[in-house]
Structure 1
Amino acid sequence: MTSLFPVLIYLALSLVITRVWSARQSKQSQQFCDDKAKRFFIGGAFLSGPLLALTLVATYTSAGSFIGGPGAAYKFGLAWVWLAVIQVPVVILTLGVLGPKFLAQKKQYSTIIEWLDERYSNNWLSTIAMLSLVVGFVAMISVQFIGGARLLSGVTGISYELGLGVFVLTVLAYTLTGGFRAVVLTDALQGMVMLLGLIILLLVLLSQPELSSQLAMETVKTPQLLSPHGVDNFLGWPMMLSFWVLICFGTMGLPHTIVRLLAVKDPQSLKRGMLWGTIICFLMTLIPHFCGFLGRALFPNLTVPDQIMPTLIAQLMTPFWAGILLAAPIAAVMSSVDSMLLQSAVSIVRDGVVKTRPAMSATAQVRMTQVVMVLITALACFWAVKPPDMIVWINLAAFGALQAVFLWPIIAGLFWPSVNGHTALIAMCSGMLSYLALQLHSPLTLNIHPVVPALLFSLLMMVISHLISKAFVKRSVVSR
């Protein structure tokens, strides 16, 4: 089995490098020098094109992409690879559609909830948004913990529980020692490590002499592995199209990606970010899923599909290089966890506690945020103790829930100035409640993912509420 030592060395080095890098850049950011809390929470408008691309893709790429996605490709075949690649335009959608609008904002916001509060001036909306963000992120952080623990366990041979403990302690070391700027710089470094590790793994996998013959035998035994709709036709057109909404269009409603737009430097950075981000996203999406599919030819008898990436790393590499290569998926998981953990803790403190205690000092805000991080980490760790066989479903369920809550209020807030807080609140609540009701229904109605009817219902309720509000205002004006 692989030694854990190279992984620990990588994690320690990346922690030191990114913290030194962050400290140097923070000294250059003069606009927030008088506000320690904002320096910790958002870090200023400092994201340039390549840095924006790396942090956006690294945050979006998580245990779902490196563990759950390849596991699904292992189980359902080439169709899941095709399904995953539709994620590629997410950078263009996020930066190209929403980026210019957020960049035009005159005020610097620390969180997406703070922006929603300013835009709609509705306390109920802000509270529900904050609670939804925290619950959704706790579920997704738990998924990342499961993925990280499975990686360490599968490659190094340590127990799952020990792997979970090592990973949780590492997460705390990363997030407690730096704010948003440090998280972003960590994402950038880990994004480069991810990309390099993936390319190496793919080349090693393709160089296996028995790959082609084993793949031919496996596809003869299970021809549906090459079907565009997957094994047992699981990915029919209704499911395929609705998944494209979930992992492509709907990503404009994911708070942990949108918060990056609050720190973009200038319009030129958006353009460069779209170019570089699309290229990086394509490689980081295609390669791990394709490796998961090809891995079935070499290791066809795995009982837990999510073990395919750890198995490939452990079995195809020498122990030392497997430890080095393990840094890539660990980086993917870390880059998502630190972002979600920081944002959920900041939302609780900045959008919850500080609103009731506006006189709280900047130092107290930062310390309370760090305490909340520890509590959220403990809760997510508790949920990760007994993991399911496939984590991809939990990750996608949390994705859909966040989109059902945030997508239309964010888009309306940017592109529909006449929509008020009451209308946005109705859209948010109708999306959340309908999604939860549909998610609990099994099997799926017409084989359509719940996010599609939930988003349609939320949009319909928002339009109806807006029309009623306009009619009421018009009648009030006429009566006067």
Structure 2
Amino acid sequence: MSGTTMVILSAFVAYLLLMIVIGVVYMKKTSSSEDYFLGGRGLNAWVAALSAQASDMSGWLLMGLPGAIYSLGTGQIWIAVGLFIGTVLNWVCISHRLRKYTIAANNSLTIPAFFENRFQDKKRILLLLSSIVIVIFFLVYTASALAAGGKLFNTVFGIDYHIALAIGAAVILCYTFMGGFMAVCVTDFVQGTLMLIGLLVVPLVAYLTLSGSLSDLLTQSGAPGGAAAFLNPFENGERPYTFIEIFSQLAWGLGYCGMPHILTRFMAVKSEKELKKSSAIAIVWDILSLTAACFIGIIGRAYLLPTVLGENGASSSESVFIEMINKLFSSHLGLPFIGGIFLCGILAAIMSTADSQLLVTASAASEDLYHQFIKKDADSKEILAVARLTVIVVSVLAFVIAWNPNSSIMGLVSNAWAGLGAAFGPTVVMSLFWRRTNLTGAVAGIVSGGLTVIVWDYIPLAAGQTLGSYTGLYSLAVGFAVSLVMIIIFSLATKAPSKEITDVFDKVAGK
């Protein structure tokens, strides 16, 4: 291992040790299941905002999105536009009411528990359904984060992908297992800050060191359709983007209101005043980070010449940010330790999502399944022990799913995001804003949304292709629409919610 690589490795070791220390500190402060799952509803504005955004964006922000733009051009920015719109609507419209409603609905600690309490589901159908959906789709989502970690270590240090996968999984497991929600949020705050600094600094410095015009260098790189098409957000190489393609990318924004690992941040903020601050901080973070990630894909195409990623044995396009950092700080500037810190930003993006997903899955398994269905008299310490055991089991299963080194980060995230967004998104929105929504409608929404995504993405129904491949339409858009319609139809076709339920709704709504 070269001296430069050893310096970069030292930065990684320092960073990983810091994350574990945070886990140890908060393990001493975690004595109950409410502490473990929601940190006692004590988050301040900065930690809530940055931990929510860091846990949201994952390795997709620093690897998947820049890689897609690097390969296909700026037409891929419509995903970023959709996500930004979704982020704004989630913080402005959902966060405040959800926090108030989860407190009013018997101090619900998890999204499945909120659904049960909101609709007074005595048979616990919603709790069971929601928990199963979370466990299934978060397994895939966590696997995408672990795969990104494996690719990072493999690219930077030349470590075998599977060994790298094990290292990343072990560290995430360690501090999530120990410290729970507050450890995850504090580490995510550090990680969100590091991600943003790296996203802003690297493309700017790389652009300033380009030896030629950006347009000429893009042409030399063989950009699809030439430089003009590559830089045109309405062009896809040799042809214009279709409405369906742009709509499908914008539809990613629909997923936000159905993501339990983001929604729990809203539930955990200590006051309405702090939540307002969090909204502003999160929206600004989102604008800066998404814009910078897009520029990484564009500038990286020119900066890395003569190397063209994805060709002639070079790393995949999803490694563009990694390759830029290595070339910029190790070769050009001779600052490998600083480069190592920025590479930790990628690791931060990966870890900040995986830890949140592990925690939400643990809460679904221990609080919503074990406590409510298996052992109803379990005390807080026993639930906490089951939660920690769940973190271990889910980590192992996600590790198995991510075993294939050729798995696409973008593909895994896309499938999980669609499943969660379609199953939960419409139900969350309607439960918060439509007084007439009832238990039957909520069940119909969760089942129809989740099943639609599975059918659309995995079952070949059109000339040997899945409907997603055949139509080019993102399954989240279809699943969200189907779920919304089913909620309305089944709610109106069955008995209206009781006065007790509507009284709580009116109280939250301020009527």
Please give the TM-score of this superposition, normalised by the length of structure 1.
0.90
Q: Residue 232 of structure 1: CA displacement?
A: 5.0
1:176/1:217 Cα in 2 relative to 1: closer, same or farther (>3 Å)?
A: same
CA–CA distance in structure 2, aligned partners of residues 79 and 376 of structure 1: 36
- What fraction of aligned residue pairs are identical, expressed as a percent? 26
**CA displacement, residues 50-78 of structure 1 (integer Å, 9 cap, x when unaligned):** 22211111111101111111111111111
Q: Which residue of 2 aligns with 1:170?
A: 171
Could you say if the C-alpha distance between residues 361 and 403 of structure 1 is closer, same or farther in structure 2, counting changes exceeding 3 Å?
A: same
- Aligned match for 2:68, one of 42, 51, 72: 72
Does 2:426 align with 1:408?
yes
Partner residue in 2 for 1:254: 259
> What is the CA–CA distance in structure 2 between the aligned matches of 1:155 and 1:453, rounded to whole Å?
39
Q: Aligned partners of 2:186 and 2:277: how far apart in 1?
A: 17
Indicate the SS of the match to 2:39.
Answer: coil
Deviation, 1:37, is 1.7
- Tell me which residue corresponds to 1:119: 118
Which amino acid counterpart does residue 183 of structure 1 have in structure 2?
V
2-side partners of 1:381 and 1:221: how far apart? Answer: 35
Aligned partners of 1:365, 1:389: CA distance in 2, in Å?
34
Tell me, which stretches of 5 or more residues in structure 1 are unaligned?
Answer: 27-32, 474-480
Residue aligning to 1:320? 337
Alpha-carbon distance between aligned partners in 2 of 1:130 and 1:23, rounded to the nearest angstrom = 25
Contact 1:55/1:187, CA 8 A, preserved across alignment: yes
Residue 220 of structure 2 aligns to which amino acid in structure 1?
A: M
SS at match of 2:494: helix
| Aligned match for 2:487, one of 439, 462, 473 | 462
Q: Deviations over 1:383-408 (max 9, x none)?
A: 11113353202201110110111012
CA distance in 2, matches of 1:272, 1:18: 26
Name the CA shift for 1:443/1:402 in 2 (closer, same or farther; >3 Å).
closer
- Aligned pair count reads 463
- In 1, the alpha carbon distance for the partners of 2:439 and 2:44 equals 33
**Equivalents in 1 of 2:199, 2:361: separation in Å?**
29
Displacement of 1:5:
2.3
- Describe the SS at the equivalent of 1:417: coil
Measured against aligned partners, the alpha-carbon deviations of 1:300-319 in whole angstroms (never above 9, x if no partner) come to 24242212222222222223
The one-letter amino acid paired with 2:116 is D
Distance 1:397 1:85 in 2: 19
Choose which of 368, 389, 393 in structure 2 pairs with 1:351.
368
The residue identity in structure 2 corresponding to 1:226 is L
Separation (CA, whole Å) in 1 of partners of 2:67 and 2:186: 29
TM-score, reference length from structure 2 = 0.85
Kindly state the Cα deviation for residue 88 of structure 1 after the two structures are TM-superposed.
2.1
Counterpart in the other structure of 1:29: none
Q: Which amino acid aligns with 2:415?
A: A
Equivalent residue in structure 2 for 1:273, among 275, 278, 293: 278
The one of 322, 328, 352 aligned to 1:310? 322
Tell me whether 1:217 sits opposite 2:220 in the alignment.
yes
Counterpart of 1:9 in structure 2 is: 14
1:244-298 deviation line (CA, Å, top 9, x unaligned): 122x233111111111111122222222112111111112212123212221222
Q: CA deviation at 1:233?
A: 4.5
Q: Which residue of 2 aligns with 1:134?
A: 135
Decide whether aligned partners of structure 1 residues 464 and 82 sit closer, same or farther in structure 2, where only a CA change above 3 A counts.
Answer: closer
Give the Cα separation in 1 of the matches to 2:407 and 2:129. Answer: 31
- Distance in 2, Cα, partners of 1:316 & 1:135: 40
The AA in structure 2 aligned to 1:119 is R
Q: Secondary structure at the match of 2:107?
A: coil
CA 1:407–1:472: 2 relative to 1, 3 Å: closer
C-alpha RMSD over aligned residues: 2.3
In structure 1, the partner of 2:472 is 447
Report Cα offsets for 1:60-108 as digits up to 9, x if no partner.
1101111111111111111213431332233321221112212323342
Aligned to 1:476: none
Q: 1:57 aligns with which of 36, 53, 56?
A: 53
- 1:238 matched to 2:244: yes
Asked if the contact 2:150–2:162 (Cα under 8 Å) also holds between the matched residues in 1, the reply is yes
**1:478 alignment partner in structure 2:** none
In 2, Cα distance between equivalents of 1:323 and 1:132: 37
**Counterpart position of 2:447:** 429
1:374 counterpart (383, 392, 407): 392
> What stretches of structure 2 of length at least 5 have no aligned partner?
331-335, 459-465, 499-511
- What SS does the aligned partner of 1:385 have? coil
| Residues 242 and 449, structure 1, Cα contact 8 Å, conserved in 2 | yes
Contact 2:146–2:399 under 8 Å retained in 1: yes
**Cα 1:177/1:470, change in 2 over 3 Å:** closer
State the one-letter code of the partner of 2:489.
I
CA–CA distance in 1 between the matches of 2:138 and 2:325?
Answer: 28
Matches within 5 A, 1:73-222: 73-105=69-101, 106=104, 107-120=106-119, 121=121, 122-210=123-211, 212=214, 213-218=216-221, 222=225
Deviations along 1:374-432, whole A, 9 cap, x unmatched? 11101111111113353202201110110111012111211123221111111211112
Letter in 1 for 2:300: G
Cα separation, 2, equivalents of 1:40 and 1:353? 16
Structure 2 distance, partners of 1:442, 1:467, is 30
The aligned amino acid for 2:483 is S
Change in 2 beyond 3 A, CA 1:325/1:234: farther
Range with greater deviation from structure 2 (230-239 or 169-178): 230-239
The whole-number CA distance in structure 1 between the counterparts of 2:390 and 2:218 is 48
C-alpha displacement at 1:158, in angstroms? 1.6
Q: Contact 2:192/2:349 (CA < 8 Å) preserved in 1? A: yes
Partner amino acid for 2:142? Answer: I
